[in-house]
Amino acid sequence: MPIRRLPDAGVFEPEEVSVLQGIFDQICARGGIDRKSEVAEDMAINLIAYYQQGLRGEELVRAVVPKERRP
């Protein structure tokens, strides 16, 4: 599956990449989302976009979790 690029994704510090990866992995594990699926790819794009907009912590997680996977 081709990777869709984010416009102006910028550069992330290693610590930021680690945080984003951890959030992504956590959401995939909790939601039973295949990390290589289109749902996961869309989620990753949204994760980066919301992070760049300044969302952090639980607010970021809630914004990224697909609606059909929310409790």
What are the sequence ranges of the domains in the chain? 33-65
Give the dihedral sign, CA 40/45/48/50: negative
pLDDT digits (tens, 9 = 90+) for 29-46: 998 999 999 999 999 999
Q: What is the pLDDT of residue 8?
A: 62
∠ CA 31-18-36, rounded to 5°: 40
Give this prediction's pTM: 0.79
Q: What is the pLDDT of residue 3?
A: 44
